[in-house]
Structure 1
């Protein structure tokens, strides 16, 4: 009787599939950067202010023009008066400026990479394309104020805006963080802003960041005809 044939050699273990699934976050990185705005950015700032007015249902109060923004926003060094940070996004990494090549040494741009489950569809990408070929996704405008209780200056944020298709990606937090980082760097005591009471998503976002939403305070404002009329009060 012939000897039994030896058992076949074990089949090689299957090679693990190292390919990432189509919906892997690593396939959709979004590169984001916060930098100081300049006079050349006024057209993009103006368009975003208009979009913000539409979102806040306040277009009837928005009379800003590119010319009026250009005449008022960039008359002082950054952080001494009105300052604007722009949020830029790109599908390619941002290059860090070489030593001594930072276009504005008052602020070093802040960059981060956000891995997304799905690529962002931006129908206005061409409208908001900068001269560097990247896309403007948001901005924050702030200026110094002062706390007598702390005996320290602080920053007041007048506007923080992220374009609709880029919301809920952590980019608003990136803008706020940039302002907070600058405040700490300068020894300032606090950063403040206001939020519309119906904007529950923004309120929740700010509270999750650790901000206190002060219910007992109300904004008092003189503007337009009331401002013009009140300026004569001390003449009597």
Structure 2
């Protein structure tokens, strides 16, 4: 069966190695993976800023590029939430487009949800040894119900000890354009998140959304923490961390 991998623009631009980790996981599960070369953004930044024309154009583009696949996998809760929930708002006034979208919608999955509930992958090449704490990204948790899935996957790794941080479900302060518009508030929020990560005693904080990853890692480094690793769960599972 063919999987269309929506790599996300942040992965493509900032951490392409995460995309390769996702590719390894999907191929290990026995899927033929295709990465449409013309893919760009899911449209979330434009949508959150009220630019409906731009975001609708990107929603239509996504539909054209991915509707032919058996499944679509997205290694990001925020992009997954945009596609699975907000495209309905953007495309709902066009019966033809909305019908095509609804035909695709049930085949779109966030990465860890896909690995647990569709691929049922139970064997990994992880080399990670140490204590991990997991950050629940807002969109993945609240829009997609991603909570138990990453923990179930991490529990299968013999070298990993999970140490839950205080307020693991609390926002890291990124929030896409929120961190740009309200920098001081965002900084206060991420400072609290970083304090909870450090208090957990973990060697690494692991998560499933690159926006959170960049925000947390950036703040840890700027405040002098060069020890704590900040990793996408795909990197840990695929043996790339």
TM-score, scaled relative to structure 1: 0.26
TM-score, scaled relative to structure 2: 0.25
User: Which of 1 and 2 has greater Rg?
Assistant: 1
